[in-house]
Amino acid sequence: MFLQPASVLEHLPFARHATVGDFGAGAGHFTFEVAKRLGDRGAVYALEAFRPSVDAILTEATRRGLRVHALSADLDTHIPLRDNLLSAGIVANTLHHLKNRAQFVKELSRVIEPKGKVLVVDWVSSFRNMGPHEDAVVLPGDAVNLFRTAGFSVSPMLPAGTHHYAFIADNV
């Protein structure tokens, strides 16, 4: 089974007035699901390096009447949000794209408020290049260590389908 944003998001608790960041938003699958759940009381920040995806997210959010702020961002260097802005974050299928993962997680801890939660989801394997190149795969234990090193506490692994792992990282 492939990744189902609606079911995986069940692991990430957030209030209806929350401010949530989707880091490496891609086509916006998680962004739109979060925005739908928040309604007009909260806000979603979709951060994506590929400018055409940012534009497509903004267009689709407007079409659907969803409250989404989409930003172009190089997540390897800096997250263009103020400190403690977000109550929750989503890092889905993003870690394997990053070159400077430690810098990214450090920046995440800056923009996620204390006690805020981050849902981390990524590929377990390359699956013969169905997923990321095998050299880019971030193994679950390595991802957990990355977040712990940056000061997050980490939940046990959560169900995320047959090709992905997931966990919650708490910003302490």
The edge-to-edge listing of strands for the beta sheet with 43-48 is 68-72, 43-48, 19-23, 86-92, 112-123, 164-171, 152-154
Where in the chain are the domains?
23-73, 81-172
> What pLDDT does residue 1 have?
46
Q: Give, in degrees to the nearest 5, the angle at Cα 89 between 143 and 117.
A: 75
State the pTM of this model.
0.96
What is the CATH topology of the domain spanning 81-172?
Answer: Rossmann fold (3.40.50)
Backbone region of residue 76 per phi and psi (left: phi > 0; alpha: psi in -120 to 50; beta: other values): alpha
Average pLDDT (163-169) is: 97
Query: In this predicted structure, what is the pLDDT of residue 148?
Result: 98
What whole-number distance in Å separates Cα of residue 70 and Cα of residue 6? 20
Q: Which tens digit of pLDDT belongs to each residue from 55-71?
A: 999 999 999 999 999 99
Percent of the chain with pLDDT over 70: 99
- Per-residue pLDDT, 129: 81
